[in-house]
Amino acid sequence: MIHYKSREEVELIKESALILGKAHGEVAKMVKPGVKTITLDQIAEEFIRDNGGVPSFKNYNGFPSSLCISLNENVVHGFPSEYELKEGDIISVDCGVFFKGFHSDSAYTYPVGEITEEVMQLLKVTKESLYKGIEMAVYGNRIGDLAYAIQSYVEDYGYGVVRELVGHGIGRNLHESPEVPNYGKRGRGAKLKDGLVIAIEPMVNLGTKSVVQEADGWTIRTADRRPSAHYEHTVAIFETGTEILTTHKFIEENFKF
C-alpha cells in the first residue's frame, strides 16, 4: 500500500532532510586520503544526534552503522571500518535521518584525490542520471517513465544499471511502497500521484550490471569488480510540481570535483 503525504508531513520530511544534508556536508569535509571510513561514520552519527535526529540505518534489520560506505567495486550496503581512504578510491556515502517521526534518505559518491578519467565520467553520468529521473518524476507520469529516463541515459555510455537494488517510497518508514527501479519501460508501473514521496537512487556500474553479495551478508559488489557509483535524493510529487527534499548543497560547498 502506498502512503501519500500531506503538505504538513512533507514539511517534516524536509526538516529531517536538512539535518541529513548538513550531516553529509560534515562528512564531505573529511573525504580525503588517510581518513578511516569509521571516522566518517562517527562524524555523521554525532552530528545527527546532536541535532535531535536518529540515524535511520543504524540497527535497521541489524545493520551496524549510521552510514552505508561502499568503496570502489562495492555498490551499496558496505560497512565503515578501519580502512584508510587512499588516492584513486571512490566512496559512496549513503545516509538516512529519522526526525519528528519521518525519514529522509540521500547518497553521494566521491572521488578520493585524483581518479581516472574513465571513473570520473562514471560518477558524473550517474549523478546526471539522477536528475534525468527526477525530471520525469512528475504528477501523472508513472514509475516506468523515470526508470526509463535513468536507464536510457546511462546505457548510452555503455554502463550497467543494477537490477537487484532499487529506490523506494519513504516517510514514517525508511522503506515504503512503491519500489522505484532504475530500469523500466515508459508508461508502466505505479502512477505518480499527489503526495507521493520517493527516494530515487541510480546505482550504476562501469561494467556489467550483475552484482553479488559478499560473505558479510550486507555488502553488494559488482560481479566483475569494476567500479560502481550511487547518487540519491528524496523527492515529493505534487500536482503543482515536484520538490527535491534532500540536498547536496552542503556537500558541494565543502567538496568540489
What is the assigned CATH class of domain 7-254? alpha beta
User: What grid cell was written down for 216?
Assistant: 558479510
| pLDDT over 80 at 51, yes or no | yes
105 annotated to a ligand binding site: yes
Is pLDDT above 90 for 255?
no
Confidence of residue 256 (pLDDT cuts 50, 70, 90): confident
Q: What pLDDT does 233 receive?
A: 99
Is 176 within 8 Å of 218 (Cβ atoms)? no
Looking at the DSSP assignment, which residues form a beta bridge with residue 105? Answer: 96
Q: Annotation-wise, does 175 bind a ligand?
A: yes
Q: What is the pLDDT of residues 103-148, one digit of tens each?
A: 999 999 999 999 999 999 999 999 999 999 999 999 999 999 999 9
50 is in an annotated binding site: no
Least confidently predicted of 47-51, 181-185, 251-255: 251-255
| Residue 26 counted as an annotated binding residue | no
Is 89 annotated in a binding site? The answer is: no
User: Residue 257: its pLDDT value, please?
Assistant: 76
Question: Is pLDDT at 246 greater than 90 in this prediction?
Answer: yes
What single-letter amino acid sits at 239? Answer: E
Tell whether 94 is in a known binding site.
Answer: yes
Indicate yes or no: pTM above 0.95.
Answer: yes
> What does the mean pLDDT of the chain come to?
98
pLDDT band, residue 254 (cuts 50/70/90): confident
